[in-house]
Each structure stands twice: as C-alpha cells, then as structure tokens.
Amino acid sequence: MNSEILFFLLSAMIIVFSILTVTSRRILRAAVYLLFVLVSTAGLYFMLNYNFLAAVQLTVYAGGIIVLIIFSILLTSHISERAQMAGRYQGLMSALAVVAGATLTLITIISYSFPAKSVVESPSDVKAIGRALVSYNENGYALPFEVVSILLLAAMIGAIIVARKENKAVKGLKK
C-alpha cells in the first residue's frame, strides 16, 4: 500500500512537471522542471530496486545534462527574457508529433503482455553489470561500449577544434 502511494506521487510529479517544462516561458525554469522530472524518474527506478540505473539516471541526466543546459542558459540569456509563444504552424506540427509519439508508446504498452513474475528480481549487481559491459558474447555490451566511447572522443575533439582560436597573435599572448 505504501509503495502504491509513492508510485502515484512520483507519477503525478512526472506528469505535472513534464507539462510545466513545455509550457513555461522562462527557459531556466523549464530546465529546473525538467530536472524534477528526471529526479522523479530516478525515484521510480529506486522503487523498483534498480539502484544502479537510478544512480546512473541521477549522475548522467540530473548531474550532467541538466548542469550543461543550465550552464549554457547562464552564459547566453538574461533573467528578463521570455520565450515567444509558438505560431499556428509550429503548434500544429508539435501537436502532430505529440499524437504520433503517444500512439507509438500506447501501442507498445498495450501489445506487451506483462507476465507476472513469481521470483523477485535481485537488486542490481554491480559485478554482473561490469562483466556484461566488457564481455563480447551474446549478452555482452563490448561493441556498443566501444562505439559510444569513440563517438564521445570524436565529439570532444570536435568541440576543441570548434573552440580553438586559429589566430597566431592571440596564441602569443598566452602567458
């Protein structure tokens, strides 16, 4: 009973803050509402005993991506700025996208049978996760892991190239 109350509380938070994220006209507030959505999702994972996934959710999304978003807002926008209301064409297109996304999700949920499990799943075992990450047999994730690392490396090099100053005179000024 207790966990049901908690589940409905977290779900209500996710729904309310998701709506607020897209309707707020102040960009930093939208980012903070998004933070609340992500933290509530982490709460759901904790409820399901997927502790590792929940901690990853907190580190990567709340502590990483939201911090990056807030950082870029801090650098680029002023406190008095308000986002403009979307035009009719934009509104129509986003409504279409929302309907399509919702239909897809609903179809997936309804078609899945949700078999009842008699065995309680063991809490996330870090050793098993570590082994799966670097093993290359059927249940291993070595290839995706390496591909993602190369993608991140490429993004990092790209960022350095974009941010680097080409001007030699500026280089001489350093130190």
Partner 1 sequence: MAFNIYDFTTLTKSIHEGLSSQFSPTATLAIEWTIVGLAYLLFVALFGLFLVYAERKVCAAFQQRMGPMRVGPWGLLQTIADFIKLLMKELIMPKNADKFLYNLAPFIVIIVSFLVISVIPFAPGLATFDFDIGIFFVTAVSSVGVIGILLAGWSSNNKYSLIGAMRSGAQIVSYELSVGLSLITMIILAGTMQISGIVEGQRDMWFIFKGHVPAIIAFFVFIIAGTAETNRGPFDLAEAESELTAGFHTEYSGIKFAFFFLAEYINLFIVAAMATTVFLGGWMPLHFGEFESFNQIMDLMPGLFWFFFKVLGVIFLMMWFKWTFPRLRVDQILNLEWKYLLPINLFNILLMAAVVLFGLHF
User: Residue 152, Cβ neighbours under 10 Å: how many?
Assistant: 10
Considering only residues 6, 16, 48, 70, which one is a binding residue for partner 1 as defined by CB under 8 A?
Answer: 70
The residue type at 97: A
Q: Is 125 in the site for partner 1 (CB under 8 A)?
A: yes
Piece of the chain touching partner 1 by CB under 8 A; list 9-17, 28-36, 85-93, 147-155: 28-36
Give residues 94-123 in contact with partner 1 (rule: CB under 8 A): 123
Please report how close the Cβ of residue 70 comes to partner 1 at its closest, in angstroms.
5
Cβ 72 vs Cβ 35: under 8 Å: no
Please give the structure tokens belonging to residue 126.
Answer: 């870090």
Span between the terminal Cα atoms of the chain, in Å? 65
Considering only residues 11, 13, 52, 132, which one is a binding residue for partner 1 as defined by CB under 8 A?
Answer: 52
- Name which of 87 and 172 has its Cβ closer to partner 1: 172
Please report how close the Cβ of residue 126 comes to partner 1 at its closest, in angstroms.
6
Cβ 134 vs Cβ 142: under 8 Å: yes
Nearest to 41 by CA among 25, 65, 68, 74: 65
Report phi then psi at 54, rounded to 5.
-65, -45
- Residue ranges that bind partner 1, judged by CB under 8 A: 1-2, 26, 28-29, 32, 35, 39, 51-52, 55-56, 58-59, 62-64, 66-67, 70-71, 73-75, 79-80, 123-126
